[in-house]
Amino acid sequence: MNVAVARPVGLQLSWSRLRNWRPEISTEALILLASVFFALVCNTLFWRSALATNPGSILFAVSLFALLVSAHAILFSLLIWRWNAKVVLTLLFITTAFATHYMNSYNVYLDADMLRNVLATDHKESRELMTPALLLPLLGYGLLPTLLLWRVRLRKRSWGRTLLWRVAFLLGVIVAGGAGTMLSFQNVSALMRNHREVRYLATPANYLIALKQNLASSSPIKKQPKLPLGTDAKATPRAATSKPRLLVLVVGETVRAQNWGLNGYARQTTPELAQTGVINFPDMHSCGTSTEVSLPCMFSPFGRHDYDEKKIRGHQSLLHVLEHAGIATLWRDNQSGCKGVCDGLEIQRLDDATTPGLCADGRCMDEILLENLAAQVRAKPGDRVVVLHQLGNHGPSYFQRYPAQFRQFAPTCDTADLGKCSREDIVNSYDNAIRYTDHFLTRTIASLRGMEDYDTAMIYLSDHGESLGEKGLYL
C-alpha cells in the first residue's frame, strides 16, 4: 500500500520562492543596505547612550541615523568592491555579532586599547567568554544576514563605470548624511563635543578604526629592538658576610582598591594579611584598566603622568635595568605573559601546568606560582628578583579564580555571563577571589621566611581595578 503525505501548498510556495530568490543589485546598493542594517540592528548601546543625552527628540534620532548610516557607507565604500564584497561583509557580520554581544553584555566602549586587549586574548580567556548567551546574537546578527547576502547577485560593470558610480554614490551619501545631520545639528554637535566616547559605540566602524590604529602604532615597535635603558646601573654592594638579597614582586590582576580589606573595605577580604604586619599603601593609581596597558607602564620609568605607549613599549623595562646591574631576574606567569616587560629574559609559563589539586580544565590556581619557588631562586647565585604574575581576579569568570573553600561570601555568580547575575552576586564572587589572593600572598610570605639563606622581601601591587556593574559597566 502506498501512502502519500501532502505538504501544505503555502509552505511549498514559500520554500520555492526562497530557493529561487536571487535578486541582482549594485555593489553600492549592497553597501547602503549593510549600513542601514548595522545602524538599526547592531547599535543598541550606541542608541541607548546617544538618545539619553536628548530624550524624546525625533529630529535628533533621525539626524543620528543619517550620520551613522552615511559614516558606515563612506567607510565601506573604501573597503568593499564587487570582487570582495561578500567575503568582507561576511567577516563584518560575524565579527559585529561578537562585538555587539560583548558590548551589550558588559557596556564596553570599543576603542584602540580595548581592541588591543581583544587581540591579546588567549584561547583560555576566549573559551571562558563563549557562553550560551552568545548563540542568539551570532544567529541574528551574523549567520542570518550572511545567508541572505550569499543569495544576492551583484551587478557587473566595467571599471570605468564602477568608478563613476562609486564617486556618485559617495557624493550622494555625503550630501544625504550632511542634510540629515543638519536637521538637529546643534544637538548632534553637542553630543560629539561633550560625549566623545559615544563614537566608540558605533559598530562596526569602532573596531575597524581601532584596528587601523593598532596596526599603525604597533607594527614599527615590534619590528625594532627595544632601546636600552639603564645600562650603567650598578647594584648597591653588600657586605661579604651578608646573605644574598631576594625580592619577590607579586603582580596582581584586577584587584581594585575599593574592595581591598586593608584599605578599610566594609568586608574583611584580607584577614590573613591583616595578621602579618604588612605595610599597606592605600593611595595607588594604575596607568589604565587593562593588563595590556598597565603592565608595561608599571615597569617603565616613563610612568603614568606622561604616558607614552610608543615610548614605553619601545624601551627596555625595569627588569632589564636590574639585569644590567647584575641582578638575575625571573618572571613566573600564571596568566597571558609579561606584555614585553621580560622580553629576552628568563620566563616560566605555569598556566599550562597540570599539577593535581591546583590545575584543572586548562587553568591553574595562583598557588602554582609557589611550586618549586625556592629551587628556582637558588638556581642562580647572588641577588635575585622574582616576579609572580597572578591570574588573580581576571574577569568575568570570578567564580573560577578561587578554590571552593574560599567561597566565603554567597550567593555567588557562577557564570561568565554577568548579565544573568545580580550585582550583589558578582561582588561576592569578586570578593572571594580577593580572599584567595590574600591567602596566596600570606603563603608567599611564609615561603620567603623559610628561605633563611636569603634576606627576603615581598611587594604586591595590582595592575589595575575594574567595574563591577556601577552605571551598568563591567570589566
CA distances from 99 to 454, 463, 469 (A): 50, 25, 19
Q: Give 379-438 pLDDT, tens digit per residue.
A: 999 999 999 999 999 989 999 999 999 999 999 999 998 888 999 999 999 999 999 999
Report residue 194 as a C-alpha cell: 561633550
Alpha-carbon distances of 473 from 16, 21, 172, 257, 260, rounded to whole Å: 47, 43, 38, 17, 20
Q: C-alpha angle with apex 194: 189 to 198, nearest 5 degrees?
A: 85
Backbone phi, then psi, for 154, in 5-degree steps?
Answer: -100, 130
Write down the pLDDT at residue 221.
47
Comparing CA positions, the residue from 458, 86, 463 lying closest to residue 277 is 458
Per-residue pLDDT tens digits of the chain, which is 475 residues long: 555 555 555 555 565 666 778 899 999 999 999 999 999 999 999 999 999 998 878 999 999 999 999 999 999 999 999 999 999 999 999 999 999 999 998 888 999 888 888 888 777 878 888 888 899 999 999 999 999 999 999 999 999 999 999 999 999 999 999 999 999 999 999 999 999 999 999 999 999 999 998 888 765 545 678 999 999 999 988 887 789 999 999 999 999 999 999 999 999 999 999 999 999 999 988 888 888 889 999 999 997 777 888 899 899 999 999 999 999 999 999 998 999 999 999 999 998 899 999 999 889 999 999 999 999 999 999 999 999 999 999 989 999 999 999 999 999 999 998 888 999 999 999 999 999 999 999 999 999 999 999 999 999 999 999 999 887 888 7
Amino acid at position 265, single letter: Y
Domains of the chain by residue range: 21-216, 245-472
Q: How far apart are CA 56 and CA 24, in angstroms?
A: 39
pTM (predicted TM-score): 0.86
In this prediction, residue 20 carries a pLDDT of 78
The domain defined by 245-472 folds into: Alkaline Phosphatase, subunit A (3.40.720)
Task: Please list the residues that pair with 322 across neighbouring strands.
Answer: none
